[in-house]
């Protein structure tokens, strides 16, 4: 990953400003260490208990026009970096990020590779990485994913992000082509419908509890008086509906061969023919099998 020079600058102009900026940072770093060293001198051989350090830092910061927290940071970083161990060409900010890492004196002597400029020099980003913390600007896939996970700690935020990302065609394609992801999505569908079913059952139970005088809801067909063939037919429909309701959500067509899909579609056609036959028998009284359905069954028996 690299950073491009802003379009309003030529490379020559940009490089000149970078050199000037680095010189100013070097001066500023020297001043920050100077203030930290001054605090070390002021606190040397003075009582360090009962809030004396905080009182001195706050009073001195107020007197010189600095925020107490800023002055304390200068003091604490300066304490971690004796003058002989500091690098004048490395910023105070880098020293601050490395201040509490092990082997910091050895680490700072070796310039890391800056993945943005491909130069060997210390940056705050690389110092944070050297301290085994998440850098401000991720430079590889693992860091980008880790950064994303840290930002999307809330399930609600994560769900919204996934929903938005699925709006991108290439993302959808990559997700759909991953077998593990498809399995997770199917599992999510099962869990969702289980929750829906539980909610419906709970609503029905609540309705029964609050209903004082249930209405007389006699079935359309009396199971005591209905013809046996009708009762069988209704039972077959009920079993068929329940079976499909459980099975259809488990379908994952992207994993099936064309032959498998064709076999299912042929059975759907056959099912429609049987339903048409049943409808004709009920509405017209004719129970003769349709010729097309008869041929379909004959072809199946022939196989």
Q: In a 10 Å sphere around its CB, with 0-12 CB exposed, 13-18 middle and 19+ buried, how is residue 94 labelled?
A: buried
Quote the CA–CA distance of 127 and 94 in Å, as a whole number.
6
How far CA 154 is from CA of 157, 158, 179, in Å, comes to 5, 6, 26
pLDDT digits (tens, 9 = 90+) for 99-115: 999 999 999 999 999 88
Reduced to 3 states (helix: H, G, I; strand: E, B; else coil), residue 212 is coil
**DSSP assigned state of 113:** B
pLDDT digits (tens, 9 = 90+) for 150-183: 888 888 988 888 888 888 899 888 888 888 888 8
- The predicted model scores a pTM of 0.53
Q: What are the residues whose beta carbons fall under 8 Å from the beta carbon of 221, sequence distance 6 or more?
A: 230, 231, 234
The per-residue pLDDT of the chain, averaged, comes to 84
pLDDT at position 90, please? Answer: 96
The alpha carbon dihedral of 143, 137, 93, 115 has a sign of positive
* HSE-CB of 226 using CA atoms within 13 angstroms: 13
The number of beta carbons lying within 10 Å of the beta carbon of residue 61 is 19
25-39, 126-140, 206-220, 257-271: least confident range? 206-220
Tokens 């599992």, located at residue: 187
Quote the CA–CA distance of 11 and 292 in Å, as a whole number.
79
pLDDT at position 218, please? Answer: 47
pLDDT digits (tens, 9 = 90+) for 205-254: 766 665 555 555 545 555 555 677 887 888 888 888 888 887 887 787 77
Q: Which of these, 120, 68, 126, 75, lies nearest to 97 by C-alpha position?
A: 126
Q: What are the residues whose beta carbons fall under 8 Å from the beta carbon of 46, sequence distance 6 or more?
A: 52, 56
- Partners of residue 113 on adjacent β-strands: 120
**Is the per-residue pLDDT at 288 higher than 90?**
no
pLDDT at position 145, please? Answer: 85
pLDDT at position 36, please? Answer: 96
Contact 74, 87 (CB under 8 A): no
E strand residue ranges, 63-218: none
Quote the CA–CA distance of 22 and 17 in Å, as a whole number.
9
Q: What are the residues whose beta carbons fall under 8 Å from the beta carbon of 18, sequence distance 6 or more?
A: none
pLDDT at position 144, please? Answer: 82
């Amino acid at each position: 990953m690299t950073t491009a020079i802003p379009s309003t600058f030529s490379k020559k102009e940009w490089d000149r400003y970078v050199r000037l900026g680095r010189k100013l940072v070097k001066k500023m770093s020297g001043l920050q260490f100077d203030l930290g060293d001054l605090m070390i001198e002021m606190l040397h051989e003075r009582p360090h208990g009962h809030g004396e350090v905080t009182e001195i830092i706050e009073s001195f910061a107020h007197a010189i026009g600095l925020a107490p927290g800023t002055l304390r940071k200068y003091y604490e970083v300066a304490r971690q970096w004796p003058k002989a161990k500091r690098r004048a060409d490395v910023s105070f900010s880098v020293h601050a990020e490395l201040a509490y890492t092990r082997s910091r004196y050895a680490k700072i002597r070796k310039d890391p590779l800056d993945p943005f400029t491909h130069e060997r020099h210390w940056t705050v980003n690389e110092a944070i990485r050297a301290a085994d913390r998440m850098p401000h600007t991720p430079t590889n896939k693992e860091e980008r994913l880790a950064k994303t996970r840290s930002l999307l700690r809330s399930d609600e935020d994560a769900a919204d992000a996934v929903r938005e990302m699925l709006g991108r065609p290439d993302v959808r394609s990559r997700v759909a082509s991953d077998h593990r992801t498809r399995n997770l999505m199917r599992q999510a569908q099962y869990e969702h419908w289980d929750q829906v079913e539980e909610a419906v059952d709970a609503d029905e139970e609540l309705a029964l509890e609050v209903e004082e005088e249930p209405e007389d809801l006699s079935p359309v067909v009396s199971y005591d008086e209905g013809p046996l063939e009708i009762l069988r037919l209704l039972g077959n429909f009920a079993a068929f509906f329940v079976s499909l309701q459980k099975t259809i959500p488990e379908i994952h067509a992207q994993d099936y061969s064309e032959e498998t899909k064709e076999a299912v579609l042929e059975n759907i056609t056959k099912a429609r023919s049987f339903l048409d036959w049943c409808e004709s028998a009920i509405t017209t009284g004719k129970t003769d099998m349709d010729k097309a359905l008869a041929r379909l069954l004959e072809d199946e028996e022939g196989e």
